[in-house]
Chain A
Amino acid sequence: MSNDTLSRRNFLRTTGLGSAGLFLGLYLPDAARAMIMTEHEALAADVYTELTAWVLIEPTGKVTLMCHRAEMGQGVYHSIAQIIAEELEVDLASVDIKFAQGNEKKYGSQLTGGSSTIRGSYKNSLKLSASARVVLTMAAAARWAVPIAECYAESGHVIHKPTGKKFHFGELVVEAAKLKAPENIALKPRSAYKLIGKPLHRKDTPMKTNGSAIFGLDKRIPGMVFAAVERNPRLRGKIKSFDDSATRKIPGVTNVIKIAMGVYEMDREGVAVVATSTWAALQGKKALKIEWDDTGFEHVNSLEIFSKQRELLKTEEGRILTTQGDPNGVITQSKDLLDVVYETPYQSHCAMEPLNCIAHHRGDTVEIWGPVQAPNWIQDYISKKMGIAFEKVIVNMTFLGGGFGRKALTDYPHEALVISKAIGLPVQVVWTREDDATQGPFRPGISYRCQGVIDGNKNISAIKFRMAGQNNDHFRSGDNGKANRSTSEGWLKPYFESIKNISFADVTFKTPIPTIFWRSVYASTNGFAYESFVNELAHKSGKDPLEFRREHLKEERTQKLLDKVAEVSGWKNKGKGFGMAVTECFGTTVAQVVKVSKSKGGKLKIDQVWAVVDCGWYVNPDIIHAQVEGAIVMGLGAATIHEITFKDGLVEQHNFYDYKMPRITDIPPIEVHIMENNEDAGGIGEPGLPPFAPALTDAIFDLTGKRIRKLPFDMASI
């Protein structure tokens, strides 16, 4: 589209809501002009007025709400809209929702990670939406020449109460956008919410039951071709030579290109096969004969990785993240020290939708369509790596068939762009399941040395945690010489009040294996080690694990959580086979109780899981239930079924036959409860995962006396 075409369009973006301009999503005139207008936006600008960055209103009254974050199952496509509709006063059923393009100036960070979408934006979102409603009301009042106080908004209309006259928002929006909203608009109290707090049906469900939801792999661009890439299986090797003669004979194969994609600091080499169909590209990839040069880096073995970690933990003190009192002094003097090591494996994300991305390199502008968690990171990376102006990197989000952290990396969009640049066409790069499972980056495998002392009152007097495992930040931003900032992630802050001597340290451990966050990040492994250790100390002191926590977690909010989990699980009158744990991450605390039993044949079985979630203010309780159920299932897989292992630098798992997943036959009944309070919102996509493994292993200990300190373990072997 030419600039000329753009300039002819009557683009109605206005500054609007001027006094509220401090909020994200409201434009200052210069910023608005500087902002890139994409084809999609320019075309649409003919028909709508943008009242806030998230609210587009057409003259017909049709309202479209923008989703600026990635929808990967966690429900923000729906829940962002559920928040906006509440204060804007529109019917959720009648609004459309669209994914925003990458545009940090307009939406703030769009990185969908750290369970941050709702907790990071809901206050701003409520205020903005209320401001939008107020200017619409002001516009109506002005047109009727009546006092604003006589008007109110409901269901996408402004109504004049005394006469019943009404305008729909579309009739008001052009004027409203020119008005200035007053400051300090009163927001609804929670008791007045019509939508927030209700278990409404997700608006993306219908299109996920009839095949119409467009995931990355489903996206089609006119003239696009398909590509598959054979990448170095040892992740860091180089191409010595390759023979593509068999590949080129496959009908539909059009190009074979040596490429490199940026994975953090390195360029991963591979050979791309471009074809007219996905199948031809996949076959062409299979027919390649590549000789790799795998010299110059360590070929890792899992057994060595974990034995090295244990060795390091014997002597190394590591980098201290946080410390109080004198844990070393208490530990040195103790004659009855508990000193154990826990081990957690590497994991692949294995989202159901394998990685994929469409890219079109048009010279000075590039465009991407795909299942991506971090559009702004892609803009930043591509602009630096490929020398394209930041605002000329256009990123379009589709639905994600799962993400779990992996789809925040910029490698696969970069790779697609490298291929598109070489062939001059839009191309969809399709990863096979094997590519997805073996290429990483992975959740790092970690060993934890935990030392603790019980005092005369049978409480913890000292605790010393050291972890030896890869630091994801080292790949992202280099080694700054400090401890991994996530060394204590998952650990509840109130423990610091009751345990006088405590320290967390990170024993630096590096391998050539690239790692990245995996659902609940370090809490997913820390939680197992630290909460298992609290359970072990409870047993050592002869106390009930839940009562032991009551004594160590005195803060009122945590006490209430413990009361609730005790109540719903029937803890007081429990029999054998019960275990519990409680972790906090991303602003939300979750307590879980697991009940196990053995059948007459001696087979160990999980009978029930109870989860209690304290996430403060929340939008949709049903989405919370779903996220916690799903997190428990994912935690179950990581604790008892699958792990990624390395041998001679190669990943030993390939697909779901050797990287097995939990199936419907593996799932116990799960009961989820939400604490009701007026605290700030916490995250919900991740915090349900960490407490599961330590609760399960303590339930097994309670039933069998067997202590499990290494994940994953086979339930059938207990």
Chain B
Amino acid sequence: MISLNVNDQNFEIDADPDMPLLWAIRDLIGLTGTKFGCGVAQCGACVVHLNGEAVRSCVTKVSRAAGQNVLTIEGLSKNNDHPLQIAWNEENVPQCGYCHSGQIMSAAVLLREKPNPSDADIDMAMAGNICRCGTYPRIRKAIHMAAELSKKGGITK
């Protein structure tokens, strides 16, 4: 059995230690907001936070997360009101929406590290996340808006 803390909740799961964290979260814990896109750390649809750092859960073994804190999109805020979530809604960012759990989780680490990100900072932090619908111009806008919002309210995660 492997112990995981996901979104402040403890889980004991019976998983092959080599199973990627992605599939443990989706199939064993039942949180499906974290997405499978490529399986080889190329697209960023599976980004979660492991002890506060953005990781590609599709290539992170579940054993590496044992006993540690995992944060998924479902735990980013209680009421869909993280500044990024508010900004994503205000700017109408998602189209199909499939990649945006990963986009938002990547952006959340960026904003924590750089509360006032430049376009170059956004490029650097977000270049690992693919959006096939091409919502990139709005992702950029929404990150800037979220930075403004969080100056007012602060970011907790």
Contacts and interface: CB of A to CB of B under 8 A. Distances in A.
B145 to A, nearest CB: 13
Contacts of B39: 282, 432-433, 655
A656 interface: yes
A280 B20 CA distance: 11
B133 A209 contact: no
Interface in B79-120: 80, 84-85, 88-90, 92-101, 104
Contact of A74 (B42, B95, B123): B95
A606 interface: no
Interface in B59-90: 72-74, 76-77, 80, 84-85, 88-90
Given A209-B80, A663-B130, A354 B88 contact: no
A353 interface: yes
Contacts of B94: 73, 202, 204-205, 208-209
A10 interface: no
B2 interface: no
Contact of B127 (A202, A205, A213, A664): A664
A541 to B, nearest CB: 35
A433 B26 contact: no
Interface in A265-287: 277-280, 282
Given A209-B93, A657-B40, A663-B129, 8 more contacts: A205-B88, A218-B32, A353-B98, A401-B96, A401-B99, A402-B96, A630-B135, A663-B126
Nearest to A202: B92
A214 interface: yes
Contacts of B74: 210-212
A630 B133 contact: yes
A626 B92 contact: yes
Given A251-B16, A622-B92, A655-B40, A73 B130 contact: no
B27 A352 contact: no
Nearest to A622: B92
**Residue among A199, A210, A213 facing the most chain B CB atoms (10 A cut-off):** A210
A279 B19 contact: yes
Contacts of B104: 209
A570 interface: no
A220 B156 CA distance: 32
A651 to B, nearest CB: 16
Contact of A667 (B20, B92, B96, B136): B136
A277 B33 contact: no
Interface in A654-678: 655-657, 661-665, 667, 669-670
A75 interface: yes
Contact of A350 (B20, B132, B136): B132
A669 B95 contact: no
Interface string B1-18: 000000000000000100
B132 A205 contact: no
**Residue among B72, B77, B130 facing the most chain A CB atoms (10 A cut-off):** B130
- What bracket does the count of chain A residues touching chain B fall in? 35 or more
Interface string B31-43: 1111111111011
Nearest to B19: A279
Interface residues of B, number: 59
A53 interface: no
A67 B79 CA distance: 26
Interface of A, secondary structure class, is loop
Given A202-B92, A664-B123, A626 B135 contact: yes
A632 interface: yes
Nearest to A251: B16
B134 A214 contact: no
Contacts of B137: 629, 667, 669-670
A277 B23 contact: yes
A217 interface: yes
28 contacts: A72-B96, A73-B94, A202-B94, A206-B80, A209-B73, A209-B93, A209-B100, A210-B73, A211-B32, A214-B32, A215-B98, A217-B36, A218-B26, A279-B23, A279-B27, A282-B39, A352-B35, A352-B131, A402-B133, A433-B38, A433-B43, A629-B134, A629-B138, A634-B133, A656-B42, A661-B43, A661-B132, A665-B123
Interface in A190-214: 199, 201-202, 204-214
Contacts of B96: 71-73, 351-353, 399-403
B89 A205 contact: yes
B136 to A, nearest CB: 4
Contact of B132 (A214, A623, A629, A634): A634
A654 to B, nearest CB: 9
Contact of B95 (A214, A217, A626, A670): A626
A63 interface: no
Contacts of B32: 211, 214, 217-218, 220
A256 interface: no
B144 to A, nearest CB: 13
A632 B32 CA distance: 30
Contacts of B84: 209
Contacts of A207: 97
Interface in A606-650: 622-623, 626-627, 629-634
